[in-house]
Structure 1
Amino acid sequence: MNRLAKETSPYLLQHAHNPVDWYPWGEEALQRAKTEDKPILVSIGYAACHWCHVMERESFEHEETARIMNEHFINIKIDREERPDLDHIYMDAVQAMTGSGGWPLNVFLTPDKLPFYGGTYFPPVKAFNRPSWTDVLLALSQAFKERREDLETQAQNMRDHLVQASGFSGKAPGQDLVPHEELFTKAQCETIFNNMMQQGDKVWGGFGSAPKFPGTFIIQYLLRYHHSFNEPKALEQALLSLDKMIRGGIYDQLGGGFARYSTDAKWLAPHFEKMLYDNALLVDVLSEAYQLTGNELYARTIADTLGFVAREMTDAGGGFYSALDADSEGVEGKFYTWSKEEIEHILGTDAALFCAFYDVTEEGNWEETNILWVTKPAAVFAAEQGITEEALERSLAISREKLMAVRAKRIRPGLDDKIILGWNALMIHACCKAYAALGIERYREMGVNAMKFCLEHLQNTDKQSFFHTFKGGVAKYPAFLDDYAWMVRALIALQEVSGEPEWLSKAKELTEYVVNNFSDEGGIYFYYTEAGQTDVIVRKKEVYDGATPSGNAVMAANLLYLSVVYDRKDWSNRGIHMLAGQSQTAVRYSTSFGVWAGVLLQQVIGVREIAVVGAEYKSRMRDTNRHYIPFKVMLGAATDQPGLPLLEQRERPGETLIYVCEHYHCIKPVNYIEEIINLK
């Protein structure tokens, strides 16, 4: 047992029995590196990472390899989900050094924590045009002893590069002189749309080539662009992407929920890990697609995905777990795949129809086994089989239930049961969106229960700041910008689906905390880490929308929303300045700045300010939520609410009224949202 045995992270605990003398990141390891004047090896991964497990089996469990690591380096293991701040810094360094990145991430530091060499997976013997792990270790140990000065200079230059990369701040040139309607334009939105469509796969959906990630921010932009400008091609590409994913192997056809990405262009073969955040973001966009189209396929997929989350990813206290591993019994995807013989044995006479529908063959559709996926829409398949779609679905539902019962007895993939504040906030937001679209109470209850869990277990004793992660009764690490930004967004969503004003009050409080503790020197953007954190070599500013939305992009949207609620011109100005500084980048690199693109589109279209006042305000808010109104600020109360401008002087005895304002004017109040025609 090494020092990781005392940790709570499932990923670190996986390495607790390695012969490598692993340390967690902390003062003990960092001080030892200085005292012994040794280079630091930082190895970063996460519990659901397939290649992390491979490298552990091949190298970190190997006695001789461990001896070399222990003799020449101070070895530190980091769970990237626990310490995304460190992961971002050292990933940026490795990408700058090598042109690529990924996990496992292995980076070598000076005793002052500055990176001088790095890479991802290294094999135990030279292969795949990669040097062996032991060759790398021995070469770097020798270089540290014989060319120390060169390595120190290289490391300092890398630190300077990282500082410079986060050096942007302030306003776009001449921004204050440009009218708002010229700062953000329909032409920009159209260019973003065209750029996204150029990347779109018109046959299989999605964007770019394999490996294919869900691209939820892009899909959401296309839905909203179509809604705003009546562009059918945007809708077609967005829905094609969702439909192909739902029919694909990336979606768990038996148990619901989506895997992280597909290794091929057709969505057949996923990397089988299931992450909380992917499922949250997909439920978000599926809810919008349902509001826009009424397609029951999206309602069923939301139900099955949230059913999976409730069943397999939810703590007894209501918080959400982080991930399910790709591997079980050391084999990727083994839990989810089937042989035809096994299905025939379980289903008997129903097997032929099931296998034909889900493309199950004797030889297998993936690595001599079968991933369940749907090659034809149910209506088309049913017609070819000469049966009704209803009869087909009944038969498939019975078969799926039988297979699920068998699958439940298999050895399960590993569960990463730590609870991450920001990822919980993403899923809380998704639960709110699902409730808004479908009106199913248990979705809202999931969101409320998880938020209560976060407030109880991850909030610091000062009742202002938060921790990033919780497991085994222990909350650790100060929360990061993403955690706070996504929490504010989730709190806003909770108010819109509950009509409870205390959620907004908490959103305002957290926003003030972020402004006070994360702002950059120009008072425009926000650093990823809180002021006063001492164990990072740089304070980074993240603006790129990756697998999860940029904290800065979400904070810009939060500031713009709350500026309307609380009449805060300073917050409105800051949100505009943030967007203006990223708008050109969002236009040019649309598929990597999808959330920023959505905020830009909102500025062009305008925000509907909706106030619902009267005894029946909660039911009227529920009715309003069912409509697709992507750019809105909605508040409700039984009576006038001093301090909330939208809810002041609105009350009329005996009535519940809906007030809608936009572009600095209000239309006549109505009793029901349906009375307002063409509301967008």
Structure 2
Amino acid sequence: MPNKLAEQTSPYLLQHADNPVDWWPWSPAAFAEAARRGVPVLLSVGYASCHWCHVMAHESFEDAATAEYMNDHFVNIKVDREERPDVDSVYMDVTVALTGHGGWPMTVFLTPTAEPFFAGTYFPPRPRPGMGSFRQVLTAVTEAWRTRRDEIEESGADIARRLAEAATRGPASGLAAEITPALLDTAVAGLSARFDARHGGFGGAPKFPPSMVAEMLLRHSARTGDARSLEMVAVTCERMARGGIYDQLAGGFARYSVDATWTVPHFEKMLYDNALLLRVYLHLWRATGSALAERVVRETAAFLLADLRTPQGGFASALDADAVPADAVPASAAPAGAHPEEGASYAWTPAQFVAVLGPEDGRWAAGVFGVTEQGSFERGTSVLRLPADPDDPARFAAVRAALAAARATRPQPARDDKVVAAWNGLAIAALAEAGALFDEPDWVRAAEQAAVLLRDVHLVNGRLRRTSRDGRVGVNAGVLEDYGDVAEGLLTLHQVTGDPEWLALAGTLLDIVRDRFAASDGGFFDTADDAEVLLRRPRDDSDSATPSGQAAVAGALVSYAALTGSTEHRSAAETTVARVAPLLARDARFAGWAGAVAEALLAGPAEVAVVDSPALERLARLGTAPGAVVVTSGPLTVGRETAGVYVCRDFVCELPARTAAEVRRQLGVKVAS
């Protein structure tokens, strides 16, 4: 019999709807039930494509005896962190503070007043060295609650007080600092010191795609001419594109690499990673003309449209890391009761290559893709890599197509098909800009359709909702990153299409941010002033897998100010970035998007109006000037009747450019048009 998650829209929650655990969604009713029964709350936080969330669910939440104990002694709440990033943020801070590390699945024990007193991440079904079993943890918490409840409640109240006090002290990044060229130089020098010159990226294993940092470095290189900044991006992007983190058969990037060489990925494919990386590779191509970067852009865009697009025109959140393993290619039907395994869809053996391609092509392709008898992954299987482009492109294309077709017959990873507003905003920006530069109108149309979905479904009573699924909007309010990333996507779409509706809607969203999310000391909170009250009001300056809400809004404010001439929006952006500046100078790995916005502010940014010059329009969009806005209609074109490309910065305009050479000089165009 389904539990209380059966009516939810989140695919992650629905995965647990048939657990024997009597799960509750996050709600006042759940805490009221805990108070009525006099028991603690077990809060479990994860997301649909999380591998270890699936593992813990199979080992513990599907186990009847464990579930019975949980039901008898706790009120159990399941949260999708992608639907409720505010809840996740608050209790992740607790988990890190209590244990020294964080991650998902996250397990937190709360009092009936939502105050935390014990936390952890994954707990195994049996004890391991240095780690108790989940049942041992449950038993210990139950016994402590029975014998020392007053002490536990006092401890929970103390933790809650400390969280609240930390929030009132302001951002951990320190006092605001002026945005100067020297500050950006310091940030880049710090990145250079941490750069892995051999494999690309920053630091060691595990290694995540540094999308926001790459944008900052590309803009820094464009503004200053610094070759080192461009080199760090170029090396990192090439190593990722040739590694196992990139899907060598169908395009698209996995979440991260478990090693420092980009060889073995954590196989889930997230919308946000691919949207951000599509734009990084697009901007790298714009700066260098790299054929590899262009290929990655085209393949990643194709992946988004083929695998993540929903029937309603939005983009799904993710593809799972796991699938039911297949022992042969093509795969037979999955055995009854078989459990998914990580990477099962993507890993290969030499024998499987031969089975698909025949002996000669199979052995050749195994050499091209680095598939060996020893394997680079588990149980003698290999993740496909492409250390170098093969010398026979036609043969390569044929074997690649055959392998992709064979892989499609295998059991496929599940798809988390909820639509997250922020991540769709990132996809809209990437596809619209890439479509304009590569003359791919289908990409622009896909961006428009996603924008229509956000406007028609996610905008409820003038406010954004965080998620939808199958065209049904969720109940959770949009958070700061939703407003910032959606506004960014709409502003990019306006520049590409010329449709004034998208500019106006972006302005409306930014007005809501300034009215409902503003903090008295500058910058913004992650939740609105009328959002659900938690232990503290979340406010995070640092990037994680996506740009921080602060940086996302700052970037949209800068673009909106450049498009409209609004000094108020520019001033708000400057204040917000200044708050993050100390973190940027200390470790730009966690403030890359703020750094990219700072580069745009230092560069102007360029305000480009193309008037009656279609032959020069694409060339203007190829410019590398940091944060430049380029339009053919709207406020920037008013009063300009003479044909040409008008470039202004900081209220100062150059003479209209009427030749390709002039446009190239004024906007830093690097590639052939």
Q: TM-score, normalised by structure 1?
A: 0.92
* Aligned residue among 373, 382, 396 for 2:384: 373
- Alignment of 1:467 onto 2:454: no
Partner of 1:80: 81
Q: Check whether the contact 1:50–1:326 (CA below 8 A) recurs between aligned residues.
A: yes
Question: Relative to structure 1, is the Cα distance of residues 128 and 613 closer, same or farther in structure 2, using a 3 angstrom cutoff?
Answer: farther
Q: Give unpaired runs (5+ residues) of structure 1.
A: 383-388
- Residues 600 and 402 from structure 1, CA distance in 2 versus in 1: closer, same or farther, beyond 3 angstroms? same
Shift of 1:173: 10
What's the CA shift for 1:168? Answer: 5.1
In structure 2, what is the equivalent of residue 364 of structure 1? 375
Q: For the residues of structure 1 that align with 2:580 and 2:420, how far apart are their CA atoms?
A: 28
Q: Tell me the alpha carbon deviations over residues 242-292 of structure 1, each in whole angstroms, 9 at most, x when there is no partner.
A: 001000010011111100000011111000011110001100100100101
- Rounded to whole Å, the distance in 2 between the matches of 1:76 and 1:426 is 30
Is the counterpart of residue 395 in structure 1 residue 395 in structure 2?
A: yes
Query: Which 10-residue stretch deviates more, 669-678 or 115-124?
Result: 669-678
Q: Which of 547, 550, 557 in structure 1 is aligned with 2:548?
A: 550
Aligned to 2:311: 316
Deviates more, 1:351-360 or 1:229-238: 229-238
When residues 414 and 225 of structure 1 are mapped into structure 2, their CA distance, relative to the original with a 3 A threshold, is same
Instruction: Tell me how far 1:208 sits from its aligned partner.
Output: 0.8
* Cα deviation, residue 185, structure 1: 2.1
Q: Give 1:398 deviation, angstroms.
A: 0.4
Change beyond 3 A, Cα 1:230–1:534: closer
CA contact (8 A) 1:497 1:621 kept: no
Aligned residue type for 1:411: P
Q: Secondary structure at the match of 2:632?
A: strand
- Give, in whole Å, the separation in 2 of the partners of 1:168 and 1:635: 42
| 1:453 matched to 2:449 | no
How many angstroms apart in 2 are the aligned matches of 1:203 and 1:527? 39
Q: In 1, are the aligned partners of 2:558 and 2:601 still within 8 Å (CA)?
A: no
**CA displacement at 1:485 relative to structure 2:** 0.6
Contact map agreement 1:425 1:486 (CA 8 A) in 2: yes
Q: In the alignment, which residue of structure 2 is the partner of 1:623?
A: 619
* Number of aligned residue pairs: 649
Q: Within 5 Å, which residues of 2 pair with 1:505-654?
A: 505-522=504-521, 524-614=522-612, 616=613, 620-637=616-633, 644=635, 646-652=636-642
Q: In structure 2, the residue corresponding to 1:544 is in which secondary structure?
A: coil
Is 1:304–2:302 an aligned residue pair?
Answer: no
- 1:159, distance to aligned residue in structure 2 (A): 1.7
| Aligned counterparts of 1:171 and 1:443: Cα–Cα separation in 2 | 40
Cα deviation digits, residues 540-578 of structure 1 (max 9, x gap) = 112111100011112122223323333333222222122
* 1:343/1:351 contact within 8 Å kept: yes
Q: Distance in 1 between matches of 2:173 and 2:353?
A: 61
Change (3 A) 1:436 1:549: same
Residue 385 of structure 1 corresponds to none
Counterparts of 1:367 and 1:171, CA distance in 2: 41
Distance 1:201 1:469 in 2: 37
Distance 1:372 1:132 in 2: 32
Displacement of 1:305 in angstroms is: 1.1
CA separation of 1:663 and 1:480: change in aligned 2, threshold 3 A: closer
| Separation (CA, whole Å) in 2 of partners of 1:75 and 1:172 | 35
Q: Give how far 1:155 is off.
A: 1.5
- Distance in 2 between residues matched to 1:448 and 1:319, nearest whole Å: 10
Determine which of 628, 635, 648 is the counterpart of 1:661.
Answer: 648
Is the CA contact (8 Å cut-off) linking 2:421 and 2:482 kept in structure 1? yes
Would you say the 8 A contact 2:524–2:539 is kept in 1?
yes
Match of 1:328 among 323, 332, 341: 323
Counterpart amino acid of residue 193 in structure 2? Q
Query: Who is 1:675 aligned against?
Result: 662
CA–CA separation in structure 2 for the residues paired with 1:157 and 1:228:
49
Alpha-carbon displacement from aligned partner over 1:299-333 (angstroms, at most 9, x marks no partner): 11111111111111111221100111111112110
Paired AA for residue 541 in structure 2: V
**CA distance in structure 2 between the partners assigned to 1:575 and 1:49 by the alignment:** 34
Is 1:187 matched with 2:176?
A: no
Q: Counterpart of 1:434 in structure 2: which amino acid?
A: A
SS of the aligned residue for 2:24 comes to strand
Residues 496 and 621, structure 1, Cα contact 8 Å, conserved in 2: no
Asked if the contact 1:525–1:541 (Cα under 8 Å) also holds between the matched residues in 2, the reply is no
1:132 equivalent in structure 2: 133
Q: Give the equivalent residue in structure 2 for 1:3.
A: 4
The equivalent residue for 1:408 is 408
Distance in 2, matches of 1:3 and 1:233, equals 55
Post-superposition CA distance 1:88-126 (Å, at most 9, x none): 111111111111000000001110111111100001111
1:341 and 2:351 matched: yes
CA distance in 1 between partners of 2:173 and 2:651 (Å): 26
Distance (whole Å) between structure 2 residues aligned to residue 336 and residue 220 of structure 1:
29
In 2, distance between residues paired with 1:513 and 1:489?
14
Q: Matched residue of 2:86: which SS?
A: helix
Runs of 5+ consecutive residues of structure 2 not aligned to the other structure: 325-339, 669-673
Q: 1:400 to 1:585 in 2, by over 3 A?
A: same
Correspondence list, 1:143-162, <5 A: 143-162=144-163
Query: Does the CA contact (< 8 Å) of 2:368 and 2:386 recur in 1?
Result: yes
Aligned to 1:354: 365
User: 8 Å contact 1:497–1:625 — kept in the other structure?
Assistant: no
**Alignment-derived partner of residue 498 in structure 2:** 499
* Distance change >3 Å, CA 488–CA 207, structure 1 → 2: same
Map of 1:11-410 to 2, 5 A cutoff? 11-167=12-168, 183-329=178-324, 330-348=340-358, 349-374=360-385, 376-378=387-389, 382=390, 389=391, 392-410=392-410
Shift of 1:609: 1.5
Q: Give deviations 1:513-538, integer Å, cap 9, x for gaps.
A: 1111111234x222111222235222
* Alpha-carbon distance between aligned partners in 2 of 1:548 and 1:440, rounded to the nearest angstrom: 26
Q: What letter is aligned with 2:630?
A: M
Partner SS, residue 3 of structure 1:
coil
CA contact (8 A) 1:587 1:597 kept: no
Q: Which amino acid aligns with 1:78?
A: V
Offset at residue 678 of structure 1 (A) = 4.9
Q: SS at the partner of 1:28? A: helix
Cα deviation, 1:18-63, whole Å, max 9, x if unaligned, reads: 1111111113212111222221111011111111111111111111
> How far apart are residue 620 of structure 1 and its match?
4.1
8 Å Cα contact 1:299-1:438 kept in structure 2: no
SS at match of 1:337: coil
Q: Is the 8 A contact 1:217 1:594 kept in 2?
A: yes
- Structure 1 runs, 4 residues or longer, greater than 6 Å off: 170-175
Distance 1:170 1:196, change over 3 A: closer
Q: Tell me the amino acid that sits aligned with residue 542 of structure 1.
A: D
**Normalised TM-score (structure 2):** 0.93
Once residues 331 and 155 of structure 1 are traced to their aligned partners in structure 2, the CA distance between those partners, rounded to angstroms, is: 38
Give the 3-state SS of the residue equivalent to 1:634 in structure 2. Answer: strand
Q: Identity, % of aligned pairs?
A: 36
Q: Give 1:449 shift.
A: 1.3
